[in-house]
Structure 1
Amino acid sequence: MSIYKRRAFLTKLPMPITEETLTGICKSRDHIIAKVVRINDLMQFMQMFRNDDVKVLFLARDPRGMAASRDKRFLHAIDTHVNKSADGVRPLHPRLVDYVVEHCQWLETNYKAITEGSTWLQNNAMLVRYEDMAMYPYKVVPKMLQFVGINGSTPVEGSAPHADSASKKWRRYFSYEEVKEIQDLCSDRLYDLFGWKRVQSKLDFIDETNTFIGSMPKAALE
């Protein structure tokens, strides 16, 4: 109830909240946007997407950035008691390892669905990298709005953070050794598909000019 009140500004929902109530509210509005954090395989929902003419925006995030966000929010407090090894490296929380492995499987599965799946899904899905949206909102956001058919104000150039800020966040949060361990949980193929660059050495890691964000393959943008 609090989520609907706070995020959707629905202060007078009748109790109990039913599917019919929520469906009625959705149908009364011109545009409906739903954030679904984990649909393991978009292909499993194809029939529903087609029936409701759904536009799919698939947001892909670098596993290292996702790991830093998850660890900071959910695991850091319960992981502080873990003793570091002799070289000062803190072992990754087992749950964080699971998060990363699942995240990479999720990325590959849905990348394939969007780029190689049904023609309908290819035409009605747009793949967006989190890093591009965060760094260049004035370029990416207008394309997203146009894709889903919404007219709205867009960010202006110059309002975005510096181009390497997306990678700086996880580089400042994790040590070099932790980053190496995290990125090795995912395949080389995944990094190639999305244009993320692996950290190859400690010098590579501490070099402030390295962003570890390359160009995204053209196939993923079509």
Structure 2
Amino acid sequence: MRIKYTVSVIFIVALVIIEKENNIISKVSDKLTLKLTPLTPVLLPSASMFTFQEHNVSVSIFSQMDMLPYEHVKPHLKNFNQFSRESVSPTSTSGGCKHILLLATTRTGSSFVGEFFNQQGSNMFYLFEPLWHVERMLTVETGGTNASVAGPAYRDVLRQLFLCDFSLLERFIEPPPQHHVTASLFRRESSLSLCEDPVCTPFVKKVFERYHCRTRRCGPLNLTLASQSCAQKQHRAIKSVRVRQLETLRPLAEDPRLDMKFIQLVRDPRAVLASRMVAFSSKYKNWKRWAMDGDVPVEDDEVRKLRGNCDNIRMSAEIGLKQPAWLQGRYLLVRYEDIARFPMRKAAEMYEFTGIPFTAKVEKWILKNTQASKEVSGVYSTQKNSSEQVEKWRFSIPFKLVQLVEKVCGPTMTLFGYKFAANEEMLTDKSISLIEEKTFL
């Protein structure tokens, strides 16, 4: 009788879990299914179709231009001749356009490194964390970010953005854009491409834009103009800290319309923790308590989260470093510590990897922003005295937390060449480097 009761309970719990999973997938599917409305932008002159097949859910994303009569489409084609050549069919090539995705996690210096591409000049269209909107929407609607659902959603939004199509991203922006105009794009000011002509429209005094352009006064962001500007740029780069597994992006590498280059930025997990405890203070109360009272748990949700993050980073790097056929010549691993110590050299190496000219404008920006004074070197600033940042964390985090990170993230540290601190004296001894000189091929 007890066995029957147990089986019944397990069966009911399984049904509840399946139903919850289906609800999450259904909500994401609604976002990924583009419906033809008067507000749907005419963006891609190609018959592109993508299928969201995880968990047996099929979602087709069609270019709306394929559904409209030619007389309605013709006026929109004048600015897209170059883009048309690049993506007119699934069998065409990228036409020399490079598509760069900078992958990282929070507090690894990704904003700083992203500027290497943002500052490239008129040939580069750069986007800063567009997946922020996707993550936020999934978290609000489902009560948490489900990795098995978020991964494909991130991938499909990235693909469309690399093809200069903002229509899919629009479905995740809150409040929804009106006539493809939004005052709510996350960190718009971090993309020079979104704050220059012709994307910078006349300033609207009565409209509040939280992430407004800082170098000049612009009106709310017109996503159709952004799409046109993107299509006219020679190269496109996106920075994101939200993709958990490199493997989920394989379809981008295999898409013949894209010439994908993946740059994975990593940093010593001990330094990452120390930085997050400062930048996200309210979210790291448990860690601060452990640092104060001396009671460090062996297992805890926060510890498991740390282990999961380290494992994801390591597994992605292991795939990239093995250079499977779909990643041949498309993957580069870079340590933040190497960039901080040798910014010009590492920037040149990244540009050589992407096949894009390393411009004098980027060199000038690097020189200016790697020798910043303490007055401008804030928590979120991209201006740092970079060489001083490398192992600064060693003097701001208790040794017991360092030991915990080393225990949880040991394999990841070993792969990336970060040395373990044998004791507290070694941790705070400036004459001993905790960074192994290592080359990643």
Query: After TM superposition, is the score higher than 0.5?
Result: yes
Equivalent runs, 1:146-157 vs 2, <5 Å: 146-151=352-357, 152-153=359-360, 154=363, 155=366
Residue 180 of structure 1: aligned partner: 403
Larger relative helix fraction? 1
Bigger radius of gyration: 2
In 2, distance between residues paired with 1:17 and 1:91?
A: 50
Residue 62 in structure 1 maps to residue 268 in structure 2: yes
Contact 1:64/1:182 (CA < 8 Å) preserved in 2? yes
Which residue pairs with 1:196 in the alignment? 418
The yes-or-no answer on 1:145 pairing with 2:328 is no
Is contact 1:40-1:106 (8 Å) kept? Answer: yes
- In structure 1, C-alpha distance between the alignment counterparts of 2:276 and 2:405, rounded to whole Å: 12
Distance 1:82 1:205, change over 3 A: closer
Tell me, in whole angstroms, the C-alpha distance in 2 between the residues paired with 1:82 and 1:202.
Answer: 18
- Using the aligned pairs only, state the percent identity: 21
Cα–Cα, structure 1 residues 23 and 97, in superposed 2: closer, same or farther, change >3 Å?
A: farther
Match of 2:239 in 1: 35
Q: Within 5 A, what are the aligned runs for 1:1-222?
A: 1-3=184-186, 5-8=188-191, 9=195, 10-12=199-201, 23-51=227-255, 52-75=258-281, 79=285, 89=294, 97-151=303-357, 152-153=359-360, 154=363, 155=366, 165-167=389-391, 169-187=392-410, 189-216=411-438, 218=439, 221-222=440-441
Alignment partners' CA distance in 1, 2:287 and 2:402: 20
Rate the CA distance shift 1:138–1:99 in 2: closer, same or farther, 3 A: farther
The residue aligned with 2:80 is none
Instruction: State TM-score, norm by structure 1.
Output: 0.79
- Say how many residue pairs are matched: 212
Deviation of the 1:50 alpha carbon? 3.0
What is the deviation of 1:195?
A: 0.6
Contact 2:339 2:347 in 1 (8 A): yes
**Which residue number corresponds to residue 51 of structure 2?**
none
Consecutive unaligned residues in structure 2, runs of 5 or more: 1-183, 202-217, 372-384
Structure 2 counterpart SS, 1:128: strand
1:191 positional shift: 2.0
Aligned-residue offset at 1:74: 0.9
The answer to whether the 8 A contact 2:269-2:413 is kept is no
CA RMSD of aligned residues (A): 3.3
Structure 2 CA distance, aligned partners of 1:64 and 1:175? 10
- Structure 1 distance, partners of 2:287, 2:418, is 32
Q: 1:16–1:31: structure 2 CA closer, same or farther, 3 Å change rule?
A: closer
Q: Would you say the 8 A contact 2:245–2:313 is kept in 1?
A: no
When residues 26 and 165 of structure 1 are mapped into structure 2, their CA distance, relative to the original with a 3 A threshold, is: same
